[in-house]
Amino acid sequence: MLEIIKLLGGATVLIGAAGWLATKFIENRLNREIEAYKARLKAESDTEIENLKSRLQVAAKEREIAVSWLHQKRATAIESLYSSLADLQHAARVVLDTLSPRNPADIRKFSSDAVKKLHQTYGAYLKAKIFLSPLTCEKIEKVLRGIQGSVVMYDLYLGNYDDHELNTLTDVKDIAWKDIQAVVPAALEELESEFRLVLGVENS
């Protein structure tokens, strides 16, 4: 009987030991698989993070190029438009200022040139408008309106008079020039400040 008990006790110990060993084996196997899985996840995560960083850098570079391109286009548009506005103001001065031509042929020629320059400047403005803010566009239009009314009005008057009568339009011409002086210099100065602000040279 004692022998049987001893045998059963030994078997129980062996079974318990085998169970413990199996449990430890499974635990170790699971731990290794968990660690391998965690390492794989980290590697994949690191790769994805690096890919994301790379995409963000590319996107930032593309945006930088786009902003630089837009600024260059805006600068070119402003340069061209400001040159046209300066030429237009000079053309109006030649026609309407006190030292304007007295010869009828010259009066008609310079008046016609001023109207053409007005149309050219409007054309330049419409091409540049897409690159300019609404506030800048308002200031440009204020300058153009200030010149347009006087230049066009005077040119229309010329069409109703013969050459020998042109020098009798001094009052009309003076009023037209005063109308320009009342609006354009201040509007142009305001526009110049806006252009400098857009180009980033306001403090230079």
Please tell me the predicted confidence (pLDDT) of residue 11: 55
Please tell me the predicted confidence (pLDDT) of residue 120: 92
Please tell me the predicted confidence (pLDDT) of residue 186: 85
Q: What is the pTM of this model?
A: 0.65
Please tell me the predicted confidence (pLDDT) of residue 111: 92
CA distance 178 to 95: 13
Please tell me the predicted confidence (pLDDT) of residue 109: 92
First-last CA distance in the chain: 111
**What six digits make up the tokens of 48?**
């994805």
Please tell me the predicted confidence (pLDDT) of residue 113: 94
Please tell me the predicted confidence (pLDDT) of residue 88: 92
pLDDT tens for the chain, 204 residues long, are 555 555 545 556 566 666 677 777 787 877 888 888 888 888 888 888 888 888 888 877 878 787 788 778 888 888 888 888 889 999 999 988 877 778 889 989 999 999 999 999 999 899 888 888 888 888 889 889 989 999 999 999 888 889 888 778 888 888 889 989 888 888 888 888 888 887 777 655
Q: Are 183 and 150 in contact, with CB atoms under 8 Å apart?
A: no
Please tell me the predicted confidence (pLDDT) of residue 187: 84
Please count the CA atoms within 13 angstroms of the CA of 50 that sit on its side-chain side. Answer: 6
Please count the CA atoms within 13 angstroms of the CA of 19 that sit on its side-chain side. Answer: 6
For residue 115, count other CB atoms closer than 10 A to its CB: 19
DSSP code string of the chain:
-HHHHHHHHHHHHHHHHHHHHHHHHHHHHHHHHHHHHHHHHHHHHHHHHHHHHHHHHHHHHHHHHHHHHHHHHHHHHHHHHHHHHHHHHHHHHHHHSTT---SHHHHHHHHHHHHHHHHHHHHHHHHHGGGS-HHHHHHHHHHHHHHHHHHHHHHHHHTTS-GGGGGG-HHHHHHHHHHHHHHHHHHHHHHHHHHHHHHT-TT-
